[in-house]
Amino acid sequence: MPDNAPNRTDPARTDPVLTSDQIEAIRSLAREVERLNSHRFVKVHNSIFRLVGFQFARGLAFGLGSVLGASLLVSVLAWWLSQFEFLPIIGDWASQLAQEIDLPRDVGRPEQD
């Protein structure tokens, strides 16, 4: 051991004394860390399989919501544009689009006996 290294048994060495406020602050921090470690977010991220499953489900929900939202938005926009009969280009195009949407589903299918 080097001569200038502090010796743990040296009586001249004094350890810092913690005040009661500091001890309570440390206890409070320990409680908060324990509470955070028991949180669902941390539990999900502790396991790679749970994390992958959670992210997969999240991606499916995002994809489904995006498709449904875009479909609703486009259909409302197409209906709204079809109401403008006085605009020659947009009105005709939107009317044709509305007619295509309103076509029966069995057009183009072979007849069954």
User: pLDDT by residue (tens digit) across 10-39?
Assistant: 656 666 788 889 999 999 999 998 888 888
pLDDT tier, 63 (very low <50, low <70, confident <90, very high otherwise): very high
Q: Is residue 77 part of a domain?
A: yes
Q: In terms of Cα–Cα distance, which of 107, 110, 112, 85 is closest to 96?
A: 85
- pTM for this one? 0.44
59's CB contacts (< 8 A; 6+ apart) are none
Q: Is residue 84 part of a domain?
A: yes
Q: Is residue 13 part of a domain?
A: no
Which pLDDT belongs to residue 15? 63
Q: Is residue 8 part of a domain?
A: no
Q: Is residue 78 part of a domain?
A: yes
Domain count, the chain: 1
The sign one gets for the Cα dihedral 74, 79, 80, 82 is: positive
d(CA 96, CA 102) in angstroms, rounded, equals: 10
pLDDT tier, 90 (very low <50, low <70, confident <90, very high otherwise): low
Q: Is residue 37 part of a domain?
A: yes
SS3 113: coil
